[in-house]
Amino acid sequence: MRSERERLVDILEAIERIEKYALRGKNEFENDELIQNWMVSHIATIGEACRALPNDYQSQYSAVPWADIIGMRNLLVHH
């Protein structure tokens, strides 16, 4: 089982990767299916990592919209 720290590193790495391609702009995103899939994959990684964090950890940081993040992952993966 992965630790909380490892899950948080997963989240940070996914954010960094998303930001790398987000800099290319909306137009490139809309016109490049590979970038779209890349971002969806990393958003899913973020949602999975958040879902795997223990409830007591999520409660400790209640300002983070955990349910929204996990919900976005579910929407993207199951849509």
Q: Where are the domains of the chain?
A: 4-78
User: What DSSP state is assigned to residue 2?
Assistant: -
pLDDT given for residue 18 in this prediction: 96
Q: What is the reported pLDDT for 1?
A: 82
Cβ contact 39:72 at 8 Å: no
Per-residue pLDDT tens listing for the chain (79 residues): 899 999 999 999 999 999 999 999 999 999 999 999 999 999 999 999 999 999 999 999 999 999 999 999 999 888 7
Distance CA 4, CA 45 (A): 14
* Distance (Å) of CA 53 to CA 22, 30, 42: 26, 32, 17
Amino acid sitting at position 64? V
First to last CA, the chain: 28
Q: What is the rounded CA–CA span in Å between residue 60 and residue 79?
A: 31
